[in-house]
Chains A and B, each alone.
Chain A
Amino acid sequence: GAGVSQTPSNKVTEKGKYVELRCDPISGHTALYWYRQSLGQGPEFLIYFQGTGAADDSGLPNDRFFAVRPEGSVSTLKIQRTERGDSAVYLCASSAAPSTNYGYTFGSGTRLTVV
């Protein structure tokens, strides 16, 4: 596609529920990134995929968070037993190669609200 697509754009869930957030990167982009952004803060890195494998998952806050990219394109961020503190905008970005000096392209994000 023309850009990075994230679905849904908004998600409201109850505390304790499981959620999945989807990211469709730009076609052909091998690198994919997930970030989380709380109100008034800069984006916070969560995980980076190169192809199908997670090259860096050091930003995942705890084991309730998990992400997959089984075929090296679409990625899903999964959050178990959601907590109110998980409320944030979850951003996805992709880039053409891990070593590129060109910019990363971000999606518009999924706004997650845990009530």
Chain B
Amino acid sequence: DAKTTQPPSMDCAEGRAANLPCNHSTISGNEYVYWYRQIHSQGPQYIIHGLKNNETNEMASLIITEDRKSSTLILPHATLRDTAVYYCIVRVHNQGGKLIFGQGTELSVKP
């Protein structure tokens, strides 16, 4: 699976949009981009995934660049409860097995 690079930490003001970047320059054509987050003392929680089109669900939006070498997770109106470590993962479509977690981005939402 391709490697991802994320900033180690970010701050965001409560109520503002949080934009979390991820670089995955070696992504291959059959790899999806997944985002998970981990709130303190809990297991990781699935947020969203996509292949090449932008995706939106009730939690977030995922913007993938046209060349698929990077993506951005957007939390449109961050709340204090969104404070967590966010992980960007790429993995092959239709293949079972492990998720490879990097260090993630520690997002702090401040009042």
Given contacts A103-B34, A103-B49, contact A43 B96 (CB under 8 A): no
Give the segment of B16-24, B62-70, B73-81, B87-95 that binds chain A: B87-95
User: Is B99 positioned at the interface, with any CB of A under 8 Å from its CB?
Assistant: yes
CB within 8 A of B98: which of A45, A99, A106?
A45
User: Is A62 positioned at the interface, with any CB of B under 8 Å from its CB?
Assistant: no
**Chain A interface (Cβ within 8 Å of chain B)?**
4, 31, 33, 35, 41-45, 48, 50, 55-56, 59, 91, 93, 97-99, 101-109
Task: Looking at the assembled complex, report how far the CB atom of B37 sits from the nearest CB atom of chain A, in whole angstroms.
Answer: 11
**Chain B interface (Cβ within 8 Å of chain A)?**
32, 34, 36, 41-47, 49, 85, 87, 93-104
Q: List 15 A-B contacts (CB under 8 A).
A: A35-B101, A42-B85, A45-B99, A45-B100, A48-B97, A48-B98, A55-B96, A56-B98, A93-B43, A93-B44, A99-B94, A103-B36, A103-B47, A106-B44, A109-B42
CB within 8 A of B101: which of A43, A56, A98, A107?
A43
B43 & A4 in contact (Cβ 8 Å cutoff): yes
Interface of B is mostly: loop
Which residues of chain B are near A33, meaning CB under 8 Å?
Answer: 98-99
Task: Looking at the assembled complex, report how far the CB atom of B111 sits from the nearest CB atom of chain A, in whole angstroms.
Answer: 25
